[in-house]
Amino acid sequence: MSGKENKVIIGIDLGGTAVKIGIVNRAYDIIAQTSIPTDAARPYEQVIADMGNAAAGLLTENGYDFGECLGVGVGSPGTVDSKNGVVLYSNNIRWDHVPLAAELKKYLPLPVYINNDANCAALGEVVKGAAKGYRNAAFLTLGTGVGGGIIIDGRIFEGGHPGGVELGHMKNGSEGRMCTCGRTDCLEAYASATALIDDAKKMAVWHPESLLWELCGHNLNRMDAKMPFDAAEAGDRYGKMLIENYIRHLADGMIDIVNIFRPDIIVLGGGVCAQGENLTQPLNKYLEENCFGASVSYIPQVVTAQNGNGAGMIGAASLVEPEGYSS
């Protein structure tokens, strides 16, 4: 008996718009949650005070005192110095060298761990989710950008200095597309949901005879990442072209990841992963055919994430007891 059976963990998902705060139990189920606006333009001390007070309140409301809480994990956008608990830089919330862990301890007298949000989501899928039971996993989230995380031997892999494991910023395509990072042709510029939507908009304009133009109601502002998949499934040739191109670029990025990290499994998160097997089936085929040493080396399966809307909180909570606290 470890005495941890009834203890809980606080997982905080710090986003550009909202701060989502959850209490998880030993099975990483979210047993209570709340959300407050980030209002990131304020001084960071105020943002963190609100975060800390809301988390402390959530604990109390649910009948827990600090002694029953093992700790706090926070997933932050941007470049995070996890060892020192500092958010070094986040373009999203405009933070620059913010001592998040130290500041948060003023309100929550508990162990506080912070990490990049994509790293958290990766670990969350290992402690509870699509990669549960695996020791080595790669995670790619396909959203506004392409984020990623690598789990090696059950722990978040961070490289030598903060700012590594930027899996969305490996060289990928060849069209000279500008990437948000200032370089051209990164994976993010081809495999983010943003990139897919941009491509679909162009295709709809160039080919108004395509189903894409109809699906968006002749209004490009309504185009989303699902429409090109829907068009492809309906047999529209332009939709098919978009999806084939999208999957080829994404697969190329994944092959880079396999050739470097050889994970047990690759988990895809973000809105695009709602496509399920429409996405994973061709990706798995591409990987089998193109990874280095294909026939003599281990090739991981590609699957979709399972933690859904709670992924950020579960992932953040997993920082506290990364090996699981059920034993």
| Residues near its own copies, by CB under 8 A | 79, 88-89, 96, 135-136, 152, 159-167, 169-174, 181-183, 185, 252-253, 255-256, 258-264, 290, 292-294, 296-298, 300
CA distance 218 to 117: 36
Min CB(291)–its own copies separation in Å:
8
Classified as helix, coil or strand, 271 is: helix
Closest by CA to 282, choosing from 232, 243, 323, 225, is 243
CA distance 300 to 264: 5
Min CB(21)–its own copies separation in Å:
28
Min CB(197)–its own copies separation in Å:
23
Tokens 């994404």 belong to: 250
CA distance 243 to 178: 20
- Residue 185 or 236 having the CB closest to its own copies: 185
Cβ contact 52:104 at 8 Å = yes
Min CB(174)–its own copies separation in Å:
3
As to burial, measured by CB atoms within 10 angstroms (0-12 exposed, 13-18 middle, 19+ buried), residue 69 is buried
Cβ contact 106:53 at 8 Å = no
Min CB(287)–its own copies separation in Å:
11
- Residue 1 or 161 having the CB closest to its own copies: 161
Min CB(165)–its own copies separation in Å:
6
- Residue 166 or 199 having the CB closest to its own copies: 166
- Residue 183 or 218 having the CB closest to its own copies: 183
Cβ contact 117:123 at 8 Å = no
**With left for phi above 0 and alpha for psi between -120 and 50, is residue 311 left, alpha or beta?**
alpha
- Residue 92 or 210 having the CB closest to its own copies: 92
Min CB(290)–its own copies separation in Å:
5
- Residue 81 or 236 having the CB closest to its own copies: 81
The string over 17-37, giving b where at least 16 C-beta atoms fall within 10 Å of a residue's C-beta and e elsewhere, is eebbbbbbbbebebebbeeee
- Residue 12 or 257 having the CB closest to its own copies: 257
Q: Write the CA distances from 111 to 35, 76, 84, 102, 215, integer angstroms.
A: 21, 17, 13, 10, 50
CA angle (242, 247, 248) in 5-degree steps: 100
Min CB(15)–its own copies separation in Å:
19
- What is the β-pairing status of strands 69-76 and 79-81? unpaired
- What is the β-pairing status of strands 8-14 and 69-76? parallel
Cβ contact 314:128 at 8 Å = yes
- Residue 129 or 300 having the CB closest to its own copies: 300
Min CB(177)–its own copies separation in Å:
11
- Residue 56 or 126 having the CB closest to its own copies: 126
